[in-house]
Structure 1
Amino acid sequence: MTNGSTTNNTTISPEMTGRHDLISSDQVEGTSVYSPSGEKLGTVKYFMVDKNSGDVAYVVMSFGGFLGMGNSYHPLPWKALHYDRERGGYIVSLTREQLEAAPAYAEDMSPDWTNSRYGSQVDTYYGGLPGM
């Protein structure tokens, strides 16, 4: 067994491709999100990928609730999160109060991602915050 991919009987290691910072989506989902002060704000539920460019546009963070009930879901711009190896999670430069005021939806309600107005609301909110 090798620690790389195989193409035409040639093993390609992460060192050869320079792509050792890639992570699979199933490893991102469930990862903790922290404030800069270290307060755990929530976890990554899933992320939204632009189907034309392939870029991750938003991470949807599960926020609040207790034992998975009463959570709200907050789309955050992917570029607003920074991975912290020491914490094993993402840091976002937001306070709990800023997240509480952010665009969100309940578990039983999903936003209409095909409507560009929803994405614009999210972008406008986070674009108006310092450091975003």
Structure 2
Amino acid sequence: MPTPQGHTTAIRGSRVIGTNVYSQAGEKIGEIEDVMLDKMSNNIMFAVVGFNGFLGMGEKYHAIPWASLDYEKDRGGYIVPFTKEQLEQGPADSINELSKDDGRAFRDAAFEHYKVERYW
């Protein structure tokens, strides 16, 4: 069954990791490094998007609510409805910190910062 945008409703995690992420302006902001799963609710908590690094140095990992990413086939990547400035000011840290305490702190901060409706 397709989503409202015509996409499939299921995708393998391995296909998502490494996919580019773009701002609304079409600017590449990074790529999906991982996804955080909520095992109790069977939901994806957030995408871990890495950007602002060069050869793995200085890269920040941002928690971006999964529902806010929309795949654009022509671009071959995900578009987020946020400006680069909003993304730069969003919750970010190391991947280990993003997953600390089951990822709840960064999940909550990301949904609040980006004003995305909570799934829990």
How would you bin the TM-score normalised by the shorter chain? 0.7 to 0.9
**1:94 and 2:94 matched:** no
Aligned residue number for residue 63 of structure 1: 51
Q: Secondary structure at the match of 1:127?
A: coil
Q: 1:89 to 1:121 in 2, by over 3 A?
A: same
Tell me what 1:76 maps to: 64
Distance 1:85 1:113 in 2: 35
In the alignment, the residues of structure 2 paired with residue 90 and residue 115 of structure 1 have an alpha-carbon distance, to the nearest angstrom, of 22
Percent identity (aligned): 40
Cα 1:115/1:94, change in 2 over 3 Å: closer
Describe the superposition over 1:64-120 as per-residue Cα deviations: whole angstroms up to 9, x where unpaired.
11122211000000011000000110000111111111110035x523243644332
Determine whether 1:85 maps to 2:69.
no
Residue matched to 1:121: 109
> TM-score, normalization: structure 1?
0.74
Map of 2:22 onto structure 1: 34
Task: Return the alpha-carbon distance in structure 2 between the equivalents of residues 105 and 54 of structure 1.
Answer: 24
The answer on whether the counterparts of 2:36 and 2:103 sit within 8 Å (CA) in structure 1 is: no
CA RMSD in angstroms comes to 2.1
* Residues 72 and 104 in structure 1, CA contact (< 8 A), matched pair in contact too: yes
The 8 Å contact of residues 37 and 45 in structure 2, kept in 1 or not, is answered as yes
Instruction: Give the number of the structure whose alpha-carbon radius of gyration is greater.
Output: 1
Q: Please state how far the C-alpha of 1:55 moved relative to its aligned partner.
A: 1.4
CA distance in 1, matches of 2:52, 2:29: 8
**Number of equivalent positions:** 110
**Distance across 1 between alignment mates of 2:72 and 2:104:** 31
Gaps of 5+ in 1: 1-17
SS at match of 2:36: strand
Moved over 6 A (4+): none
Q: Distance in 1 between matches of 2:52 and 2:103?
A: 26
Which one has the bigger helix percentage?
2
